[in-house]
Amino acid sequence: MIRRLLLLLAILALGTPARGQSLTADLSSHIIGITTGFVGANLTLFGTVDKAGDVVVIVRGPPTDIVVRRKHRVLGMWINGSSAVFHDAPSFYSTASSRPFSDLGMTPDTLARHMIGLDNVKLQTADPVAEPAFSEFRAALVEAQERLDLYRATPVPVTFLGEHLFRADMAFPANVPTGTYSVQIVLLSGGEVIGAQTSSLIVSRIGFSNGVFNAAQHHAALYGLGALVLAVTAGWAASLVFRRG
Amino acid sequence: MEIYLPIAQMPVDPFVLLAMGGLVGLLSGLLGIGGGFLMTPLLIFIGIPPAVAVATQSNQLVAASVSGVIAHWRRKNVDFKLGTVMLIGGAVGSAVGVALFAQLKALGQIDLVISLTYVLFLGVVAALMMIDNFRVLVLHRNVVARRKLHEHTALHRLPLRMRFPRSRLYISALLPFAIGFVGGLLVAIMGIGGGFILVPAMIYLLGMPVGLVAGTSLFQIIFTTGITTLLQAVSTHAVDVVLAAMLIVGGVIGAQIGTRLSHLMKPEYARLAHALIVLAVAVKLTLDLFTRPENLFSVVPLGMQ
């Protein structure tokens, strides 16, 4: 019995695809393309459940390292002193839920395991940082990401159309980081997880902005020369216009 | 309407950028300054990452200085020989500066160094300019005629003396080299042309004829900003051409209007206005450095994996 329970926990922690067919869901699109005119994107998540229950959706952006620095007063000046490097922090975090997290009836452990709520986003430093410094650095990171609209504290609604069909409209801001996202959908009954599904979403630059970015990354010298030619030509053209004007 | 900047990785309103370019261009045309020291803080203010702001600004300055030099060249106001010695120093300076920039960025102290160099250089220059303005406007003395043509100082005893016929100077080549070096360093670290430090240095340290100073300093700024653009593109990948293009367009239009308006303004008042702007930026940055910031924390992603 205990072994079975442990196995169940392990499977849950890994985020398996649909278990026991109790939950089926999909996104309206699995790719968000960032073009020059990109102003953000909206995706709709549709799904059905066998049994009535609560549905929570957790969207996490590709893991990234984030450094947080604290300013200290040195010789009267406020300069960067202590710092913490957060390893594999989600670059984006947004949720949807059929009711407020506090009303789901979940234990703190279950909430933490599924990273439901900003307080439960897994943020770990590369080197151990003692308390209370760690909490301060963590709070600063979360606040900065919230200000950029990259972390969202409140879930958007998951609405049920009838008893089995549900939908959620997920919004992505224009500054959304590129990479592979994980979209986890969890079905709850009485605070217990009875079904889960994980699906992925790719955010990538396309067209002109992708070309510019790739050139700057992979053909840096040529790109730099191009930028120079552009600037010299523009300056020269301006002086021609100026002389005639 | 918003347009996505591929390197800064954020959307911006192109009209805000055009207006910023135009405003700084207007001031540069009106007052005869590069305006980089205003543009970099403005870019950072609208949320462009500092590394992208500094690197892109150097690209924009190439365009501004090319059109400036062509205008001065037509009036034969460029000393190419002296400018070349300066730009050799400038090339070395910007290479050292870009390497230093990368090092300081890794240490997390680039913001401090940018602030301190701004405060130091802007403060000193603003003070010098205010003294000169005081002499001209209040005491009615001419600024430039102070120095006799053949006054010899310790600077004249340096080795490697060279003739610069256009400027009628016979001085050590180390002097313009050193001035160029400092200019190159500033381009790389602060993303500015450095005209505000080059121009007084050329007048007071080299004793160059005033008419040649602007054209010659712009001549060397083309190369230091050009080299910096290339080095930044290769080492930090932070030059955003879309951002640069919009700043260039705004700047060019602003500079034309500014140059035309400048005929309406007495040069003494233009210099005073320049000094006041430099002073204001220096005071603002000093205050920022010494007052407790609203947010003690800075959060910087180290790049996607």
User: Two tokens at B272?
Assistant: 């005073």
DSSP notation for A69-136: EEEEEETTEEEEEEEEEEEEEES-EEEEESS-GGGS---HHHHHHTT-SGGGS--EESS---TTHHHH
Of the ranges A15-19, A89-93, B140-144, which one carries the lowest mean pLDDT score?
A15-19
Whole-number average pLDDT of chain A = 86
Q: Percentage of chain A surpassing pLDDT 70?
A: 90
> A64–B108: do the CB atoms touch at under 8 Å?
no
- Please give the single-letter amino acid code of residue A104: L
- CA A207-A210-A215 angle, to 5 degrees, is 125
A-chain residue closest to B62, CA distance: A231
Displacement of CA A228 from its chain's centroid (Å): 36
Is the pLDDT at A11 greater than 50, yes or no?
no
pLDDT computed for residue A18 by the predictor: 44
ipTM associated with this complex? 0.81
pLDDT computed for residue B281 by the predictor: 81
pTM for this entry: 0.76
CA A33 – CA A27 distance, rounded (Å): 15
Strands A93-97 and B10-12 come out as unpaired
Give the E-state strand segments of chain A in sequence order.
23-27, 31-34, 41-49, 54-60, 63-74, 77-90, 93-97, 124-125, 156-161, 165-172, 179-189, 192-205
Is the pLDDT at A110 greater than 90, yes or no?
no
Q: What is the pLDDT of residues A231-244, one digit of tens each?
A: 999 988 888 877 65
Q: Which residues contact B135 (CB under 8 A, 6 or more apart)?
A: B141, B143
pLDDT computed for residue A97 by the predictor: 92
pLDDT computed for residue B302 by the predictor: 74
Rounded mean pLDDT of B34-39? 79
Nearest chain A Cα distance for residue B143, angstroms: 31
Q: How many CB contacts within 8 angstroms connect chain A with chain B?
A: 196
> A79–B109: do the CB atoms touch at under 8 Å?
yes
Q: Per-residue confidence at A20, pLDDT binned at 50, 70, 90?
A: low
Q: What is the pLDDT of residues B205-264, one digit of tens each?
A: 888 887 788 888 888 888 888 988 998 898 888 899 999 999 999 988 888 788 778 778
Regarding predicted confidence, which is higher, B283 or B148? B283
> A216–B11: do the CB atoms touch at under 8 Å?
no
> B62–A63: do the CB atoms touch at under 8 Å?
no
> B256–A220: do the CB atoms touch at under 8 Å?
no
Q: Give B238's Cβ-side CA count (13 Å radius).
A: 23
What residue has token string 């034309």? B256
Answer whether B85's CB lies under 8 Å from B180's CB: yes
Q: Percentage of chain B surpassing pLDDT 70?
A: 92
Would you call A66 an interface residue with chain B, using a CB distance cutoff of 8 Å?
A: yes
Is the pLDDT at A9 greater than 70, yes or no?
no
- Provide, as residue numbers in chain B, all residues whose Cβ is less than 8 Å from the Cβ of A74: none
Long-range CB pairs of B293-298 (<8 Å, 24+ gap) are: B293/A71, B293/A78, B295/A140, B296/A70, B296/A71, B296/A78, B296/A140, B297/A68, B297/A69, B297/A70, B297/A71, B297/A136, B297/A137, B297/A140, B297/A143, B297/A144, B298/A68, B298/A69, B298/A71, B298/A80, B298/B111
